[in-house]
């Protein structure tokens, strides 16, 4: 039985109380207020639930992460990055990016990004915590992702692609920009093959929390605009 969060408190149970099965389920209830969400991310917790369910809060062990210097660029992706037949932007279409991420994927009936999630993260964006990456071909939005930045750590939430490799293009540009700004870790939450192909790996929850506590205390003061040289991808290692 998992704890039910009180409406008048933003406190979460100790992470050690998270279930082993399903992995990382910690609590239910509460709300998606800005204060609770920021407290959750700073504590290594994130919301994930289906529409119609109570809000569920998770802290899986192990945790999927990517160190920016370990970004893996495949030969085909490197070729596409160098082609530069696209344009990448920050925070120019957050609403459209999260809407695209919420759209059902092939062979899926629905999405976990409910209207409540949509509104909560749009509020985080307006308050300067949540950011989007957009990939454009001509004037068409063809890929992107969104997540949160706290201190020198980025918390990835969701990505989408309407053309081949466009979510990977967004992730590669984001990762190299974060590295340029001195970010040391990207939280990918839960392992999957798509993230693993980009260099993500798993670490134990205590190690993740140690890194989180260190990095979230660091200053984060810059404009969210790309200022890396596209030529940075010419020297990427690949297989």
Per the structure block, which two tokens stand in for 155?
């918390």
Helix 34-42 with 115-126: angle, nearest 10 deg:
80
Parse the chain into domains and list their residue ranges: 4-60, 64-235
Instruction: State the pLDDT at residue 238.
Output: 47
The CA distances from residue 52 to 2, 26, 69, 188, 213, in Å, are: 18, 19, 40, 25, 33
Per the structure block, which two tokens stand in for 51?
């529409």
Instruction: State the pLDDT at residue 124.
Output: 98
Residue partners of 34: CB distance under 8 A and separation at least 6 = 120, 123, 124, 127, 129
Is the backbone peptide bond immediately before 62 cis, with ω within 30 degrees of 0? yes
* CB-facing half-sphere around the CA of 179: CA atoms within 13 A: 15
Instruction: State the pLDDT at residue 237.
Output: 53
The CA distances from residue 197 to 71, 84, 126, 135, in Å, are: 9, 21, 32, 20
pTM of the prediction? 0.93
Q: In the sheet where 201-203 sits, what is the strand order?
A: 87-90, 130-137, 140-150, 153-161, 185-189, 63-66, 201-203
Q: Does domain 4-60 have CATH number 3.30.70.3550?
A: yes
Instruction: State the pLDDT at residue 235.
Output: 59
Instruction: State the pLDDT at residue 128.
Output: 95
Cα–Cα distance between 137 and 78 in angstroms, integer?
17
* CB-facing half-sphere around the CA of 111: CA atoms within 13 A: 18
Domains 4-60 and 64-235 share a fold: no
Which CATH number, 3.40.630.70, 3.50.30.50, 2.60.120.380, 3.40.50.720, labels domain 64-235?
A: 3.40.630.70
Q: pLDDT tens string for the chain (239 positions)?
A: 899 999 889 999 999 999 999 999 999 999 999 999 999 999 999 999 998 899 999 999 999 999 999 999 999 999 999 888 899 999 999 999 999 999 876 555 556 789 999 999 999 999 999 999 999 999 999 999 999 999 999 999 999 999 999 999 999 999 999 999 999 999 999 999 999 999 999 999 999 999 999 999 998 878 898 888 877 787 555 44
């Amino acid at each position: 039985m998992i704890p039910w969060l009180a409406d008048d408190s933003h406190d979460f149970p100790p992470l050690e109380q998270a279930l082993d099965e399903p992995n990382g389920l910690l609590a239910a209830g509460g709300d998606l207020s800005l204060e609770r969400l920021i407290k959750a991310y700073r504590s290594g917790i994130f919301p994930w639930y289906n529409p119609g369910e109570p809000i569920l809060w998770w802290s899986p062990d192990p945790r999927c992460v990517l160190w920016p210097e370990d970004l893996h660029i495949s030969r085909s992706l490197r070729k596409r990055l160098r082609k530069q037949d696209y344009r990448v932007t920050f925070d120019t279409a957050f609403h459209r990016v999260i809407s695209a991420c919420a759209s059902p994927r092939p062979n899926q009936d629905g999405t976990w990004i409910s209207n409540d999630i949509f509104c909560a993260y749009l509020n985080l964006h307006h308050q300067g915590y949540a950011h989007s990456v957009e990939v454009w071909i001509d004037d068409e939005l063809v890929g992107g992702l969104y997540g949160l930045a706290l201190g020198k750590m980025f918390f990835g939430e969701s990505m989408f692609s309407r053309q081949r490799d466009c979510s990977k293009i967004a992730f590669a540009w984001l990762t190299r920009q974060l590295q340029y700004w001195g970010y040391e870790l990207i939280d990918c939450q839960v392992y999957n093959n798509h993230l693993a192909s980009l260099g993500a790996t798993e670490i134990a929850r205590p190690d993740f929390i140690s890194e989180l506590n260190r990095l979230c205390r660091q200053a984060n003061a810059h404009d969210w605009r790309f200022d890396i040289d596209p030529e940075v991808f010419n020297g990427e290692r690949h297989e």
